[in-house]
Structure 1
Amino acid sequence: MLLEFTVGNFLSFRDKNTLSLSATAIKEYVDTNIISTQRYQLLKSSVIYGANSSGKSNLIKAMSTMRKLVLQSFKQASTEELNITPFLLNTENEENPSFFEVLFLLDEVRYRYGFEVDNTSFKSEWLFESKKQLEKPLFVRENDGIEVMKTFSEGKDLEEKTRDNALFLTVVDQFNGKKAKAIMNWFNNFVTVSGLSHEHYTGITFNLLDNEETKPAMQSFYNNADLGFDTVKLNKKEFDVARLPKDMPESIMQEISTKLQGQTMVDAITVHKKYDSKNKVVGTVEFDMDSQESAGTNKVFNLSGPIFDVLHDGGVLVVDELDASLHPLLTLAITKLFNSQEHNQKNAQLIFATHDTNLLTYGNYRRDQIYFVEKDKYGASDLYSLVEYKEEGAVKAIRKDRSFEKDYIQGRYGAIPFIGNLSNIIKEWQEK
């Protein structure tokens, strides 16, 4: 479970900013929105608001980048670059490394892991462990070397096997380090997806629908979401080159055909009721999900895989643009799966960016679950939660009985676009 994620000097985040899923002392929705452990009270979800280009997607990209570096850095060639972009609007920052750090729980043990990295190498790396209150280092890496503590014996004698553009943690994992492997598995369950490019996740959805254990919950969700079909089934058949686009270049078609020859292809088929002139059911009609269902239905179907995968196994799901192409009630239904005792029994966590302000009224979110991202006049993004926000001159925080949606739209909490007088702009354009 995630406690905190911190990023600094990456894309639009100049200074270190932290997204915390540690619950504060407020009393809203304790029964449904809180995960209680022996030592911590954690939030099941967090929603992020902000104007276009405020930095919401950059925050999620930072999470995705950290995950990718952890899971893939060992596979990098020694000369391969790491695709890191620091904050470029300040001369001091552009020469410094980017900062990434997570605090998370594994079997009631808290770990703090992070690193500093530029486009060519890792400048520092650290792993700390806290079994009770005291935090102890397991290893610390600086430019001049890696110090491995006695309590991390699995990392001994592996210091010299670590390339400049590889993480020490991943090296220890490759040599079957027990703690390293558990941490790598945590990152594997720290899933980031895009609500705009959701077509990439159909494979996960197919796998869960093909599993008798997970299929009923997904089918129940489709029915409750009123997507218009009675059931969905998978149509499996061997790859046929005739299914490829006719205008595809022949060389590419041959390459794809060679790779997929003999492979099983899967299509999603939705089943609809068919009625006679008296509106009596006389049979069923099958639709192809991709070509005959709406964009919104396809998105719900595609994202349902990662959603129910995390709900079934536990983990953290991070989604950018969750509300794109979705009716507000569908977005609400998805988020309530996580803020739930019934559906979220494995303590999965959801972090998502959205413009859907209806959730501020109907989502039953605590003030510490609501985050805003806003850019200052120097182009740097700032992240802050509603529970810590205080209006200018105010001593107390925002009250829980405020109309969060109305206040946000009116600009009370910031993080909204400044829109000038559009009528003047149109008038000036027409007069030219």
Structure 2
Amino acid sequence: MLLRFRVANVRSLRDEQELSFVAPEGSEGDHAAAREVTLSDGRHLPVHTVLGVFGANASGKSNVITALKNMRDAVLRSYAEWIAHDGIPRDQFALDPKAAAETTLYEADFLLDRNVRWTYGFELGPQQVEAEWLYGYPKGRRQVWFERDATREKEFEFPADRLQDRAHLARTTRRDALLLTRAANDGHEQLTPVFDWFKSNLWDVTPETERAQREDYTATRLLESEDFRRRTEELLRVADLGITGVEVEQSSSGRPTVRLVHMGSGERSTLEWASESWGTRSWFALIGPLLLALDTGAVLLIDELDASLHSRFAAEVVRLFQAPWVNPKGAQLVFTGHDPSLLQTPSGGRLLHPGQIWLTEKDERGATELSSVAEWEPTAEEDLMAAYLAGSFGAVPKVSEGQVGRRLLRADRTAQAERTGAEGA
């Protein structure tokens, strides 16, 4: 499970920002909604399985997802692919020239076997890895597995000799590659599980893009697993009461051919895939990654969850990850969205609690600030959706009623005046 994520100098995330799955202290609702995890040292930690990131357009919501994805990509690809780049690919903050010379930070806290907590992070410069570190907490106290600092004469330090092949790793790790990636490339017995956590987590899904690939993935899983087919058909029936099943064939082109079975006027019929609604196809494409995450206990990242799904179905995705009987392996979901109705249930209860609601807002420099609604300490009775829409927590567009129309009218009048002046000149 992912516990915390820190990032700095990535896209609009200029200053250090932190996203935390750990339920905040003092919030009874958050603790009730969180999953209690027993750590290796016996301590109990309430961890959320769902976080939602909300904010105005262009406030940096998607950049939170991008940063998580970028960390995963760096771990998986630094050894094999960065050598082909002219410098290290970083995507640093673009609105401040000083940012190009500053490091980019990534750090994640997560749990591995026997719920041992680990912290892994690194700082990237324009041409080299400036710092890298790995800490374990098997008994609650920090164990330093390795620390790297490019400014030191001896770049790598391995206290307590915990790590095998230390000299080989230090000697063969390039300055523009991560030691963790280098170690996993050699199948290092101790470090490969940490690498594999990144390989098996932080999968990103953007409903508006790459839908064809996800449709193919869902269809392929249908051909491979009868259990997957059964669960997929149940989820499709929920999305469209007329759907009774799904037919999949492997075509000569290599892409599976999908037809959904509909029941209308007592007769069974199928439609060409292109004739299915956008919402149905988006739901079908999401089912594959969603069930895979639930089956493996992975962290799934969905940008704009409510972009192509009705709010009721977006809420059902949230509930799937919240429910222990559906999500016994503790899979986690981070999503971005605009629809404030995702903050509460149709009956007015809380679908998400304050510690699960994260907000993005840009400051006067164009830098994104990430914060949790829990920091505002709302009362248990407070209507979070109404408070959010009223701007009580910030992170909503600063647009008054009719302002957009007035701006357009002003632009038209200005253009008309300029044309009249040009004609009279």
Q: Same fold (TM over 0.5)?
A: yes
Match among 201, 209, 226 for residue 212 of structure 1: 226
Q: Structure 2 matches for 1:123-142, cutoff 5 A?
A: 123-142=130-149
Give the aligned partner of residue 193 of structure 2: 182
Matches within 5 A, 1:63-212: 63-76=68-81, 78-81=83-86, 82-107=88-113, 108-143=115-150, 144=152, 145-149=155-159, 150-190=161-201, 191-199=203-211, 200-210=213-223, 211-212=225-226
Q: Please report how far the alpha carbon of residue 36 of structure 1 lies from its aligned counterpart in structure 2 after TM superposition.
A: 2.6
Deviates more, 1:300-309 or 1:73-82: 73-82
Of 225, 230, 240 in structure 2, the residue corresponding to residue 226 of structure 1 is 240
After TM superposition, give the deviation of residue 22 of structure 1 in Å.
Answer: 0.7
- Asked if the contact 1:2/1:105 (under 8 Å) is kept, the reply is yes
Q: Decide whether the 8 Å contact of 2:180 with 2:191 is kept in 1.
A: yes
- Partner letter of residue 122 of structure 2? F
What CA distance in whole angstroms lies between the structure 2 residues aligned with 1:230 and 1:7?
A: 45
Kindly state the Cα deviation for residue 58 of structure 1 after the two structures are TM-superposed: 0.9
- How much has 1:339 moved relative to structure 2? 0.7
2 CA distance for matches of 1:31 and 1:370?
15
The aligned residue for residue 411 of structure 1 is 391
- Contact preservation (8 Å) 2:24, 2:30: no
Q: Which residue of 1 aligns with 2:15?
A: 15
Give me the whole-angstrom Cα distance separating, in 1, the residues matched to 2:367 and 2:241.
Answer: 41
Q: Which digits, 9 at most, give the CA deviation of each residue in 1:369-418, with x for residues without a partner?
A: 010010011111100001112xxxxxxx2112111111111111101111
One-letter identity of the residue aligned with 1:237 = S
The 3 A distance-change label for structure 1 pair 216 and 176 is same
- Between 1:50-59 and 1:112-121, the stretch displaced more is 112-121
Deviations 1:188-227 (A, max 9, x none): 2221221221413224312432312332222212112226
Match of 1:256 in 2: none
Q: CA deviation at 1:77?
A: 5.4
- Residue among 288, 299, 310 paired with 2:272: 288
CA gap of 1:35–1:295, structure 2 versus 1, over 3 A, is: farther
Q: Report the Cα distance in structure 2 between the residues aligned to 1:79 and 1:236, rounded to whole angstroms.
A: 37
Cα displacement string for residues 163-212 of structure 1 (whole angstroms, at most 9, x for unaligned residues) = 12211001111222123211122112221221221413224312432312
What secondary structure does 2:226 align onto? coil
**2-side partners of 1:32 and 1:215: how far apart?**
30
Q: Give secondary structure in 1 for the equivalent of 2:163.
A: helix
Report the AA paired with residue 109 of structure 1.
Answer: V
Looking at structure 2, the residues matched to 31 and 411 of structure 1 have their Cα atoms a distance apart, in angstroms, of 26
- In 1, the alpha carbon distance for the partners of 2:368 and 2:256 equals 42
Q: Does the C-alpha gap of structure 1 residues 33 and 232 become closer, same or farther in structure 2, counting only changes over 3 Å?
A: farther
2:382 is the alignment partner of 1:402: yes
Query: For the residues of structure 2 that align with 1:323 and 1:227, how far apart are their CA atoms?
Result: 20
Q: How does 1:2-41 map to 2 (within 5 A)?
A: 2-25=2-25, 26-28=27-29, 30=31, 32-38=33-39, 39=43, 40-41=45-46
Deviates more, 1:333-342 or 1:224-233: 224-233
2:19 maps to a residue whose letter is L
> Partner of 1:133: helix, strand, or coil?
coil
SS in 1 for 2:232: helix
Which residue number in structure 2 is paired with residue 428 of structure 1?
Answer: 410
Describe the SS at the equivalent of 1:270: strand
1:251 match: none
Residues 296-334 of structure 1 show CA distances to partners (whole Å, capped at 9, x for unaligned) of: 111111111111100011110011111112111111111
Rounded Cα–Cα distance in structure 1 between residues aligned with 2:391 and 2:33: 29
Residues 77 and 235 (structure 1), Cα distance of their counterparts in 2 relative to 1, 3 Å cut: same
Shift of 1:274: 4.2
CA distance in structure 1 between the aligned counterparts of 2:10 and 2:284, rounded to whole angstroms: 33
1:374 alignment partner, SS class: strand
* Aligned equivalent of 2:49, options 16, 25, 44: 44
TM-score normalised over the length of structure 1: 0.87
The residue number in structure 2 matching 1:271 is 261
How many Å separate the matches in 2 of 1:398 and 1:32?
16
2:260 and 2:270 in contact (8 A); partners too? yes
Structure 2 runs not aligned, ≥5 long = 417-425
Residue in 1 aligned with 2:296? 313
Flag the 1:155–1:310 CA change in 2: closer, same or farther, 3 A: farther
Question: Higher helix share goes to which structure?
Answer: 2
Shift of 1:430: 5.1
Aligned length: 394
Q: Secondary structure at the match of 2:62?
A: helix
CA RMSD of aligned residues (A): 1.8
Residues 225 and 333, structure 1, Cα contact 8 Å, conserved in 2: no
- Asked whether the equivalents of residues 35 and 42 of structure 1 are also in contact (C-alpha less than 8 Å), the reply is yes
* Distance in 1 between residues matched to 2:96 and 2:11, nearest whole Å: 11
Between the aligned partners of 1:132 and 1:332, the Cα distance in structure 2 is 38
For 2:144 and 2:220, how far apart are their aligned partners in 1? 40
**CA distance in structure 1 between the partners assigned to 2:360 and 2:112 by the alignment:** 29
Q: 1:178 to 1:226 in 2, by over 3 A?
A: same
For residues 266 and 284 of structure 1, what CA distance do their matches in structure 2 show? 22
Residue in structure 1 matching 2:367, options 380, 393, 396: 380
CA distance in 2, matches of 1:98, 1:196: 28
Does structure 2 retain, via aligned residues, the 8 Å contact 1:154–1:172?
A: no
- Percent identical: 29
3-state SS of paired residue (2:344):
helix
Offset, 1:423: 4.3
Change in Cα spacing, 1:29 to 1:141, as seen in structure 2 (3 Å) is closer
